Amino acid sequence: MTDLFSIAGKTTLVTGGGRGIGRMIAGGFVDAGAKTYISSRNTEVCVAVAAELSEVGECIALPADLSTEAGCRELAAELGRREERLDVLVNNAGNTWGAPLAEFDDAAWDRVLSLNVKGVFHTTKFMLPLLEAAATDDDPARVVNIGSIDGIHVPVLETYSYSASKAAVHQLTRHLAKKLAPRITVNAIAPGPFQSKMMAATLDAFGAQIAASAPMKRIGRPDDMAGAAIYLASRAGAYLTGVILPVDGGIATVG
């Protein structure tokens, strides 16, 4: 049973691993014995978090801007110069934007879709040789995309491009899952409210109400997110592909 949920010795990459959901997953992977690379546009944060996590296990910073195809290609090339294979890719890097409907312009769409959707696609595409090299018949390589419950239900806030982008990530997950099986599984986690930079203002203003309205009566904790990612990355999750897994205390599914 211990081996069933083990990711010890695997090589992993978590994009957007410097903060929030990505930091939670990267911390869980390092704690679980995986060699973990983290990527972020903010070089200073990326290096600092990698140094912090390296006190527990093996964590390496690979700063990159994944909002462009060239940035995704360079990240894959840099990882390829360091590693012969990649067991687990977590596409977490993302952005949001909120504005009233009448003020929601092209910039609000381009900034979010470029990173949240195209970044996921291009990063996965360029990582395929490394993922293929890691895959075996019994233990496929894994791609874990980070969607959102805002791609499942209608959010309260006016974050039109964000919710649309996360719904797109969920469908892209299913599409890639069909294309890449059986050598690579592709699943998505759809987080609910967790403490992060992206959610900070919302939770500061409405955190108590959100927790009270959730079936589980609380905000998500780092272990909740790390546990879901480890499950999908371990042998326990080897037979799942194309799954959208809400980790939200029931908000989008039974709330």
pLDDT recorded at residue 211: 83
Quick one: CA dihedral 168, 108, 146, 40, positive or negative? positive
Q: Is residue 180 part of a domain?
A: yes
- Which CATH number characterizes residue 122's domain? 3.40.50.720
- CB-CB contact of 172 with 117 (8 Å): yes
Mean pLDDT of 2-26: 96
Q: Is residue 218 part of a domain?
A: no
Q: Which residues are marked as active site?
A: 162
Chain segment 221-254, per-residue pLDDT in tens: 999 999 999 999 999 999 999 999 999 999 998 8
Q: Is residue 17 part of a domain?
A: yes
Range of the domain at 175: 3-98+113-210+227-247
Q: Is residue 107 part of a domain?
A: no
Residue 205: band (very low, low, confident or very high) from pLDDT cuts 50, 70, 90:
low
pTM of the model: 0.95
Q: Is residue 221 part of a domain?
A: no
Chain segment 75-121, per-residue pLDDT in tens: 999 999 999 999 999 999 999 999 999 999 999 999 999 999 999 99
pLDDT value at 204 more than 80? no
Q: In total, how many domains does the chain have?
A: 1
Mean pLDDT of 32-54: 98
* Widest distance between CA atoms in the chain: 54
